[in-house]
Amino acid sequence: MGRSGSPNERTVAFERLGEAMLLAAACAGDERAFEELISPHRQELHRHCYRMLGSAHDADEALQDTLMRAWRGLPGFGGRSSLRTWLYRIATNASLRVVERRPRRVLPVDDGPPADPGAARWQLVEAGWVEPYPSDRAGVEAGVLGPAARYEQSESVELAFVAAFQHLPPNQRAVLLLRDVLGFSAKEAAEVLGTTLASVNSALQRARRTVRRRLPERSQRASLRALGDVRVRELVAAYVEAWERGDVAAILALLTDDATFSMPPYAVWFGGRDAIAAFLPRGPLRERWRLVPVRANGQLAFGCYRWNDDSRLHIAHSLDVLTVAGDRIEHITAFLDAESLARFGLPPELPPARDSRSAR
């Protein structure tokens, strides 16, 4: 007798059977079964927490809280609804609890006017800034998106997107992410948030209006695709070479006329080529640098290492994330957090460059 159903339907059926068996074992106290049950959802839950919070560190905390509460609440869950919907309910509420006790995270360019390079006040703000996110953790959540999704998964972790989300009230933020990023239906979103369909729809309309005003016309995913692989590689090489030579003119040639340069956790930022040209020689280009290309938030990025005379090594210092417009760089966001480089698989130090003239 032949098997009924298409190959895809049989695969889904086997997956559901496997999930049910793991669920039963986990409910009985099998921690390995719980880990196997949760494993396919762990990364997407972390991305969701990052979008909610704008911070990889806060996302770690929210995910840990989510997994702990899921383990404790598993016997009460019992498979009566979608495991994914149940997990997102826990993760969203965990994120909302973090939001309650942390300041809203933004980017410096959204927090105040540009500074005068000759009279900048270097106000250090330890918390409150959007943080970078490794692109290998920002991939597409294959096979789990519903028809309501409006944004590409890789686009929704770009700095502009994540920063725009942070300008929403927490409830609107959650609704927008569930509906437009993850593709949950209005009914599923209401179930996750424990509210009504009317509340979800109302919050979604308000959230879309706010975010639409703050998003760029073109995402970085679209900009880099339009630029093409060859030009992207040339831009990356030119950026590295210009900084390592300490060449102000070469750096400026890569920028748009209205480019910005910001340095979280400092609130100060500079706008326009003239201001950046005045800042570079009196700021970062007083040091010698090596740069390592990476990807952050689906964007071009570079681990930046400052030369240390005592150790005779380049020491991890910051992460530059670039926003490209056309074939030029529109924004340089230099995250001055050496510890964050480890998230991108970068070492804490680098040996001297072969060319001893290397400088940033």
Tens-digit pLDDT profile for residues 73-118: 988 886 667 888 899 999 999 999 999 988 889 999 998 899 998 8
What is the pLDDT, as a whole number, of residue 10?
Answer: 40
What is the pLDDT, as a whole number, of residue 21?
Answer: 85
Q: What is the dihedral of CA 44, 50, 51, 53, to 10 degrees?
A: 150
CATH architecture of the domain covering 1-102: Orthogonal Bundle (1.10)
Asked if the model's pLDDT at residue 8 lies above 70, the reply is no
Mean pLDDT of 299-307: 97
Q: Check: CATH 3.10.450.50 for 220-350?
A: yes
Asked if the model's pLDDT at residue 356 lies above 60, the reply is no
What is the pLDDT, as a whole number, of residue 81?
Answer: 74
Proportion of the chain in helix, strand, coil states, percent, rounded to 5: 55, 15, 30
Asked if the model's pLDDT at residue 13 lies above 90, the reply is no
Asked if the model's pLDDT at residue 142 lies above 80, the reply is no
Rounded to two decimals, the pTM is 0.88
Mean pLDDT of 30-56: 93
Mean pLDDT of 25-45: 89
- Summarised one tens digit per residue, pLDDT across range 150-185 is 767 778 999 999 999 999 999 999 999 999 999 999
* Alpha-carbon gap, residue 331 to 321, rounded angstroms: 8
* Alpha-carbon gap, residue 301 to 200, rounded angstroms: 36
Is 220-350 in the same CATH topology as 1-102?
no
- Summarised one tens digit per residue, pLDDT across range 246-281 is 999 999 999 999 999 999 999 999 999 999 999 999
What residues does each domain of the chain span?
A: 1-102, 220-350
* Alpha-carbon gap, residue 183 to 185, rounded angstroms: 6
- Summarised one tens digit per residue, pLDDT across range 195-210 is 999 999 999 999 999 9
What is the pLDDT, as a whole number, of residue 6?
Answer: 55
Asked if the model's pLDDT at residue 355 lies above 70, the reply is no
* Mean pLDDT across the chain: 88
List C-alpha distances in Å: 33 to 13, 25, 28, 65, 74. Answer: 19, 6, 10, 19, 12
Confidence band, pLDDT 50/70/90 cuts, at residue 359: very low
Contact at 8 Å (CB) between 305 and 349? yes
Asked if the model's pLDDT at residue 124 lies above 90, the reply is no
